[in-house]
């Protein structure tokens, strides 16, 4: 599985964390092979998970083989975490005249600079919109006043070296996406907002800012009539269409199916603490995890595969979120840390295993942690009269299910200590069913047709 840039951060305060920690991230997926550069922005409005999940999957599950894709998956990160369109107002209306006193002034200036970067050839802004855009009124949900299932342009043409025939490019991309949509009621259509002809509302948007600065820009809307996974899938179909049209080559490591998209989203919810001494798989985690051994007198440092994962400090505990979803709440127990050990040795189903801290160790029947002089082992949920549980042969039924990391009762924590100092943790996962985790990955390669900028 490919992974994009690992996100490193401090835990955020739920109400007033440091602004820098809530800043958006930029991920440059460069192939090293000459070709166009596409800037993809997700999460400008925090209540549109289809857009920001699709952008995040570009970061974690795609590899670019020709040209470049730059991704901002979490532009309005604070609003994403709070499931709000805009905690500080609508960020997509802040690209005209914005006073420096606005809380998002610096973030807007940063993304403006990205848009103007001389390497960027085109810009996409991913949204989830209401209903279904149709050129003619059909009913309340299908009309010219709706936004869903549309590729949006501000005007038909602009002066640009590549992709300046905005309406033609958008129509071609919509047609490419529609080839992979079985229900024509869900087809994409092109919506021209004619922004330069007096559309004051759209004149404050990110795409119009890009067009005014010579960068072809398009809005992409997935209908809010669908759930998050379907919206994400629709966004990916359109993203594929744009990359194909632009001649950007790409590979992905999950099937081009709804089940594949859902599994890819769920698989990006792992959290590592303190240089992977602790790893928590959170896609199917219990709502509360107790006695998590955190470092005494230190900020909570974490790493996550997905740029949508954040850890929020809240009244003595830590809420872990993936975008606007709460995954679990960590209730800590504080320890000094011991850095002199990196691995744990076990007998797993009769075979010797040496695993680094942070590993997930599959177990069919039983495991036994090998004793190590000067260290003791605590298997969370295993009932024993001994303080050191190393050497015990442990079966799944020996561990209280309520202490499992996951709701399926399969994954348990194996913690190692030197005296009272925490050394590290590994996870053991017993065989069995766990919804959403078992899947077959496939790798798909596709290189699009370059566009000469004249349209089709």
The answer to whether 446 and 250 are in contact (CB under 8 A) is yes
pLDDT given at position 432: 82
* pLDDT band at 352; cut points 50, 70, 90: very high
Per-residue burial over 82-114, b = 16 or more CB atoms within 10 Å of its CB, e = otherwise: beebbbeeebbbbbeebeeeeebeebbeebbeb
280-299 per-position pLDDT tens digit: 999 999 999 999 999 999 99
CA distance 162 to 67: 14
234-274 per-position pLDDT tens digit: 999 999 999 999 999 999 999 999 999 999 999 989 999 99
- Per cent of the chain over pLDDT 70 is 90
| DSSP code, position 404 | -
Asked whether the predicted pLDDT for residue 337 surpasses 70, the reply is yes
Q: In the structure encoding, which two tokens stand for residue 111, read together? A: 């993304």
117-146 per-position pLDDT tens digit: 999 999 999 999 999 999 999 999 999 999
For the chain, the average pLDDT equals 92
Asked whether the predicted pLDDT for residue 381 surpasses 60, the reply is yes
Nearest to 223 by CA among 211, 213, 233: 233
pLDDT given at position 174: 99
Q: In the structure encoding, which two tokens stand for residue 203, read together? A: 């004149």
Task: Check residues 450 and 82 and name the one with the higher pLDDT.
Answer: 82
The answer to whether 193 and 152 are in contact (CB under 8 A) is yes
pLDDT given at position 50: 99
- What's the chain's length in residues? 456
* Dihedral pair phi/psi, residue 196, rounded to 5°: -70, -5
pLDDT given at position 11: 53
From residue 85, give the alpha-carbon distance in Å to each of 40, 129, 276, 299. 19, 12, 34, 30
Nearest to 49 by CA among 103, 14, 85: 85
* pLDDT band at 453; cut points 50, 70, 90: very low
CA distance 339 to 277: 9
407-451 per-position pLDDT tens digit: 999 999 999 999 999 999 999 999 986 444 333 223 333 333 333
pLDDT given at position 87: 97
Look up the pTM and report it.
0.90
- The arithmetic mean of pLDDT across residues 40-62, rounded, is 99
pLDDT given at position 320: 97
Nearest to 69 by CA among 18, 99, 32: 32
Q: Domain residues of the chain, as ranges? A: 7-265, 341-433
- The arithmetic mean of pLDDT across residues 370-380, rounded, is 98
- The arithmetic mean of pLDDT across residues 340-367, rounded, is 98
- The arithmetic mean of pLDDT across residues 303-307, rounded, is 94
CA distance 409 to 399: 9
Nearest to 102 by CA among 84, 90, 111: 90
Question: What is the residue whose two structure tokens read 């089940």?
Answer: 259
pLDDT given at position 436: 40
204-240 per-position pLDDT tens digit: 999 999 999 999 999 999 999 999 999 999 999 999 9
Q: In the structure encoding, which two tokens stand for residue 254, read together? A: 């999950």
Nearest to 163 by CA among 61, 243, 60, 55: 243
Nearest to 378 by CA among 408, 340, 333, 409: 333
Asked whether the predicted pLDDT for residue 72 surpasses 70, the reply is yes
Nearest to 28 by CA among 4, 1, 53, 55: 4
From residue 438, give the alpha-carbon distance in Å to each of 409, 412, 414. 16, 18, 23
Residue spans of alpha helices (H) in 256-349: 258-266
154-205 per-position pLDDT tens digit: 999 999 999 999 999 999 999 999 999 999 999 999 999 999 999 999 999 9
Give the 3-state DSSP-derived string for 200-259, with helices as H, strands as E and coil as C: CCHHHCHHHHHHHCCCCEEEEEEECCCCHHHHHHHHHHHHHHHHHHHCCEEEECCCCCHH
12-31 per-position pLDDT tens digit: 444 333 333 468 999 999 99
pLDDT given at position 306: 96
Query: At the top level of CATH, which class does the domain 7-265 belong to?
Result: alpha beta
């Amino acid at each position: 599985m490919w992974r994009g840039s690992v996100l490193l951060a401090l835990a955020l305060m739920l109400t007033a964390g440091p602004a820098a920690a809530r800043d958006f991230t930029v991920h440059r997926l460069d192939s090293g092979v000459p070709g166009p550069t596409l800037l993809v922005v997700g999460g400008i409005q925090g209540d549109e998970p289809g857009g920001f999940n699709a952008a995040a999957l570009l970061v974690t599950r795609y590899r670019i083989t020709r040209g470049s894709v730059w991704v901002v998956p979490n532009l309005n990160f604070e609003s994403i975490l709070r499931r709000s369109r805009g905690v500080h107002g609508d960020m997509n209306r802040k690209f005209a005249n914005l006073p420096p006193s606005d809380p998002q002034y610096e973030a807007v200036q940063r993304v403006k600079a990205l848009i103007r970067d001389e390497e960027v050839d085109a810009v996409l802004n991913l949204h989830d919109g209401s209903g279904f855009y149709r050129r003619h009124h059909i009913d309340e949900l299908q009309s010219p006043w709706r936004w869903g299932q549309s590729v949006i342009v501000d005007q038909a043409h602009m002066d640009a070296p590549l992709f300046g025939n905005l309406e033609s490019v958008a129509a071609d991309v919509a047609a490419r996406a529609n080839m992979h949509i079985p229900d024509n009621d869900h087809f994409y259509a092109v919506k021209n907002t004619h922004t330069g002809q007096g559309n004051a509302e759209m004149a404050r948007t990110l795409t119009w800012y890009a067009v005014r600065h010579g960068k072809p820009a398009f809005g992409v809307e997935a209908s809010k009539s669908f759930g998050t996974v379907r919206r994400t899938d629709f966004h990916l179909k359109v993203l594929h269409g744009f990359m194909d049209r632009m001649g950007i080559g790409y590979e992905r490591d999950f099937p081009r199916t709804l089940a594949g998209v859902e599994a890819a989203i769920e698989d990006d919810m792992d959290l590592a603490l303190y240089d992977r001494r602790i790893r928590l798989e959170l896609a199917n985690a219990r709502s509360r995890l107790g006695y998590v051994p955190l470092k005494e007198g230190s900020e909570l440092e974490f790493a996550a595969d997905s740029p949508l994962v954040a850890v929020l400090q809240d009244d003595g505990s830590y809420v872990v979120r993936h975008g606007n979803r709460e995954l679990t709440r960590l209730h800590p127990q504080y320890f000094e840390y011991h850095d002199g050990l990196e691995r744990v040795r076990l007998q797993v189903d009769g075979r010797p295993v040496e695993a680094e801290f942070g590993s997930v160790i599959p177990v069919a029947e039983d495991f036994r942690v090998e004793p190590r002089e000067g260290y003791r082992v605590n298997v969370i949920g295993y009932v024993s009269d001994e303080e050191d549980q190393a050497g015990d042969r442990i079966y799944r039924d020996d561990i209280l299910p309520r202490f499992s990391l996951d709701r399926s009762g399969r994954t348990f924590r194996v913690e190692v200590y030197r005296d009272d100092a925490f050394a590290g943790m590994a996870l053991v996962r017993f065989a069995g069913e766990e919804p959403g985790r078992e899947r077959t990955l496939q790798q798909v390669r596709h290189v699009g047709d370059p566009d000469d900028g004249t349209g089709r």
